[in-house]
Amino acid sequence: MNPRRVVITGTGAVCAAGRDPPSILEAIRAGRSAIAPIRQWDASGWPMQTAGEISDLNPRALVDDRKLHKLIRRTDLFGLYAADRAIDASGLAAYRAALEPEAALEYSDRTGVYVGSGGGSYESQYDYFPLLTAAQDKLPAFGRELSSSVNPMWLLRTLPNNVLGHIGIRHGFKGANACITNHSIGGTLAVIEAREALRTGEADRALAVGHDAPIEPQMVLYYHDVGLLAKDTIRPFDARRDGSLFGEGAAALALETEDSARKRNAPILGEVLGGGSATDAQGLLAIRDDGDALARAIESALADAGIRAAEVGMIAAHGNGTPQSDASEAAAIRRVFGESAPPATAFKWAFGHLIAAAGIIEAVLALESLRQHVVPGVATYAVADPGCAGVPVAAEPQSPRGDVALVLCRGFAGTNAALLLRAVS
């Protein structure tokens, strides 16, 4: 059986820079960074006090079901919002509403959901802190007051698959599904897994989502302690780079087999061509200087897509601004593309590192960039680093040399993922 083509019929995204892909890309093209002082808690005593935080957050504006707010966290709000926007844009639910009952049931059974969610949040512990203080380290006192002091919905609120489950509940999607918690590459893997399910006939359409909200006191402190956070801003591939900064948000892609999309005359925005993943397998924080695992992920994605490196029109780099990651990413790009890499960009400088949602929001933005025929500039890039040679990144916008984007994503434990998308203008 020939694998089926997988097309993109809708997108959604939310982050500090905007609440839909065009507005986020508009901010990036204008050189506006949404990284600002943290306001979710008093960060004045913290070693790092800035992040890409979504300001003036109104939960009802993201998810209108007030009862649901008791059962989900901030990160889940973002994931459900992005999913809803992609579903609306694709017309998936609207098309089903016009079908006869039996056909609508089959449609639901053949619609899957794949979600990459953050699994490293400490926020789930914070409900216990007041009681721990009041109990003065006495376990019997803690146990007696536990049920009356901690929200009984605590367990349901902390489930990592809340977005996966509630997308299915809200929209009646009953098909193949998976929740992936694999640090920064979770959202990218959700796209790869969804595409594979469609190609092999497990589903006819699927939603791929990534979401995370890592801006919390312990996360900021621990990332700073291991030397990963920047002093003021993210400068990908720049000689002055000194680290990354957190952002929060989500993104989603509505994916369908080409036959499914054509049958309902859906707008086709692009195609998921291929994906690959590989690991350095050297430690939780260790990565190889030669970028071997990332290079293998790119080579795997190219083989999966059946295209040559020369056919890639632009690169959306991971570009997290940490010295070793950027340099090793450049080494991987040189290994695959030699001296002829296509124009490259990076997006984290504008809204921070969204961890589990990083790769998928950058895939959505890469698709939007191709559709606008631009490789956005990196506003914080000014001083070239010889150690990052071979990555054609610039402060000013460039023109893609084709309609295919390579999106790169990296995470803890040396995990790497690569995704190839083709845009339809």
Does the pLDDT value for residue 261 go beyond 50?
Answer: yes
What does the pLDDT average to over 284-303? Answer: 96
Per-residue pLDDT band for 67 (boundaries 50, 70, 90) equals: confident
In b/e form, how buried is each residue of 304-335, taking b as 16+ CB within 10 angstroms?
bbebebebbbbbbbbbbbbeebbbbbbbbbbb
* Whole-angstrom distance, CA of residue 195 vs CA of residue 278: 18
pLDDT at 2 over 70: no
Backbone angles phi, psi at 219, to 5 degrees: -60, -45
Helical ranges in 30-116 per DSSP H: 59-62, 74-90, 92-97, 101-109
**Domains of the chain (ranges, CATH numbers):** 6-119+160-423 (3.40.47.10), 124-155 (no CATH)
**Using 50, 70 and 90 to split pLDDT, how confident is the model at 347?**
very high
What confidence tens digit (pLDDT) does each residue in 353-396 have?
999 999 999 999 999 999 999 999 999 999 999 999 999 999 99
Residue 128: predicted pLDDT: 87
| pLDDT score at 318 | 98
Mean pLDDT of the chain: 95
**Would you state the pLDDT for residue 155?**
84
The burial of 386, by beta-carbon neighbours within 10 Å (0-12 exposed, 13-18 middle, 19 or more buried), is given as: exposed
Where residue 424 falls (left for φ over 0; alpha for ψ -120 to 50; beta otherwise) is: beta
266 or 67, greater pLDDT: 266
Question: What are the b/e assignments for 113-122, b being 16+ CB within 10 Å?
Answer: bbbbbbeebe
Q: Please compute the mean of the pLDDT values over residues 12-39 and round it to a whole number.
A: 98
| pLDDT at residue number 384 | 96
For residue 1, what pLDDT band results from cuts at 50, 70 and 90? very low
Nearest to 380 by CA among 195, 242, 285, 210: 242
